[in-house]
Structures are given as structure tokens and as C-alpha cells.
Amino acid sequence: MNRGEIWLINFDPAIGNEIVKKIPAVIISHNSIGKLKLKIVVPITSWKENYSKIPWFIPLHSNIYNNLKKDSAADTFQIKSLSEDRFIKKIGTISDEELENIISAINLCIG
């Protein structure tokens, strides 16, 4: 489990508006950080055209590297630290540019 990889993750159980199902997420935590079996991830959701006007949604176009079934978006407002026990299977990877865009959007969200 490495930075920039996309994994299918079980987000259930959840509370309120949190994501509550099995969906892909990209690992953003550095590989060398942390002693616990936790990873910081950004959930990935289906792309909607109105997301282009929302700066914390980062587009991820389906390709042979990320293996996403359709064009999607990284929802950086829902960044989470999760147990590796929630990780089901590796799906693919994102580009360095996409990773940098995600990090920039997180910085926008947290100030």
C-alpha cells in the first residue's frame, strides 16, 4: 500500500454524511510516515459536471493506469485516516500530477 495507489476500501460503518460503502480511494500519506497500520486516503466518486466549479473535487479520467471504470473525482474534503484492514484490493495508480493536484486541493480545504 503506497502513496498514489488507488484501492477499493470498505468505508462502512459511517455516521451522518460520511461515505458508507465500498468505493475506491487514493492513498496520499507518505510511505515512511507512521507506525500504526493506518493510511491517509482521499475517496473517489463518480464525476459530475458541476464538480468542475468546486475546487476540492479533482478530476481523475479513466485510463489503463488507474483502472477506474469511468471518469471520476477525488473528493479532498473527505480526507480520512483508515485502518489497512479496510483495504480490499489495489485497483491502480494515479499520476504524479494528479497526486500534486490532490495535495493542493487538500491544502485549500485545510487552509
77 DSSP β-pair partners = none
Q: What is the mean pLDDT of residues 56-65?
A: 97
Q: How far is CA 40 from the centre of its chain?
A: 9
List CB contacts of 22: < 8 A, sequence separation 6 or more. Answer: 8, 9, 10, 11, 12, 88
Q: Tell me how far apart the alpha carbons of residues 68 and 74 are, in angstroms, rounded to a whole number.
A: 12
* Mean of per-residue pLDDT scores for the chain: 93
The pLDDT score that the predictor gives to residue 55 is 95
CATH topology of domain 5-110: SH3 type barrels. (2.30.30)
Whether residue 44 is predicted with pLDDT greater than 80 in this model: the reply is: yes
The pLDDT score that the predictor gives to residue 58 is 98
Q: Cα–Cα distances in Å, from 85 out to 11, 12, 22, 39, 47?
A: 11, 12, 13, 10, 27
Q: What is the mean pLDDT of residues 82-94?
A: 96
The pLDDT score that the predictor gives to residue 18 is 67
Q: What is the mean pLDDT of residues 93-108?
A: 97
User: pLDDT digit string (tens) for 18-38?
Assistant: 676 899 999 999 988 878 899
